[in-house]
Structure 1
Amino acid sequence: MNNSEKIIGILPCSGACNVGIMTTKATVKACEAHKNVNFVCALGLPLGIPGIIENAKKSDAYLALNGCEIRCATKALESVGIKPDDEIVVSEKCDMKKNKNFSDETGLDVLMEEVENFIRKWSQNFYAS
């Protein structure tokens, strides 16, 4: 990554359910595919852990990946004064019911398409300015 490349922060809710775990899987896939994606730690923000907050604030755009309508990822970002540029609610976007089947990846392809669209959109916005 060169110094002019902008950083896209993705914060998964990582909740203890199928749709929460799917947010983590999608974030990991995005990090593996793009050098400019920053995996933001959801738990460290509202706990006020300085290093995690500092890492989160290094990003230029933010995507909150929420498993369900509770929107924990969005709330975690907002707890340290970061307004997400966009948010995805997996249970709504992928039309999934929240359950305890942690290995269920139904809808992961739809979620990844949405994540890739965000990355593409914000990368184009950065380089157009």
Structure 2
Amino acid sequence: MDENNNLVSTETTEEQNTNGVKKEKENWYLPYMDKKTKGIEVEERKSPVAVFYCAGASNVGQSTMLSSVKAANEVGYDKAALLCLASISAGLANITNGAKNAKGIVAVDGCPMSCAKKTLEKAGFTPEEHLIVSKDLGISKNFDLNSSTDLGKIKDAVVEKINNIYNK
């Protein structure tokens, strides 16, 4: 993401983290699982933690999406994969298989309606970690879709949830 929170493509898929260890910069897990689902041979890789977020029609909903992207960029896509929540309820095999094969699942919700968690549970998945931004971080919900406050605070909480699963 650039300084204006716009997604930008990169020419390389890896970068050095602060410890000099390479980390994935692109969400490689989606095309990987798509190929596996179609029976196309792929080089086996360690599965990342799947992150599903509800990008609901509120400030906290929109903030879950932006912060989840920032969290995945921070930890690297070898550790965290952003997967499409709507694809779970649509029953799309590549996303469902991605969730099944993930190291674990983080559900990120903006408010106590818990749409991400409930959608996953309805499809038979139990998130190992669940974040409710308004409840857990004390960020008030409103309906100003242009208000994405406390992104750093939310990102840090998502990173913590990812690490809780990944480091087990």
CA contact (8 A) 2:50 2:98 kept: no
Q: Which amino acid aligns with 2:107?
A: A
- Structure 2's unaligned 5+ residue stretches are 1-23, 25-42
**Greater than 6 Å deviation, 4+ residue runs:** none
Please, which of 150, 162, 167 is the counterpart of residue 107 of structure 1?
Answer: 150
3-state SS in 2 of match to 1:88: strand
User: Relative contact order, CA 8 A, sep 6+: which one is greater?
Assistant: 1
Task: Give the whole-Å Cα distance in 2 for the aligned partners of 1:56 and 1:112.
Answer: 21
3-state SS in 2 of match to 1:45: helix
Q: Give the Å deviation of 1:32.
A: 1.9
Task: Give the whole-Å Cα distance in 1 for the aligned partners of 2:151 and 2:165.
Answer: 21
TM norm structure 1: 0.85
Task: Give per-residue Cα distances to partners, 1:64-114, cap 9 Å, x unaligned.
Answer: 001110100001111221100010101112212222222323222221111
Partner of 2:140: 97
Whether 1:86 aligns to 2:160 is: no
3-state SS in 2 of match to 1:57: helix
CA contact (8 A) 1:94 1:107 kept: no
Q: Which amino acid aligns with 1:117?
A: E
Task: Give the whole-Å Cα distance in 2 for the aligned partners of 1:7 and 1:100.
Answer: 33
Size of the alignment, in residue pairs?
A: 125
Partner of 1:124: 167
Whether 1:12 aligns to 2:53 is: yes
RMSD (Å) for aligned C-alpha atoms: 1.9
TM norm structure 2: 0.67
Task: Give the whole-Å Cα distance in 2 for the aligned partners of 1:3 and 1:114.
Answer: 30
Task: Give per-residue Cα distances to partners, 1:9-48, cap 9 Å, x unaligned.
Answer: 1100111111111111111112222122111211111222
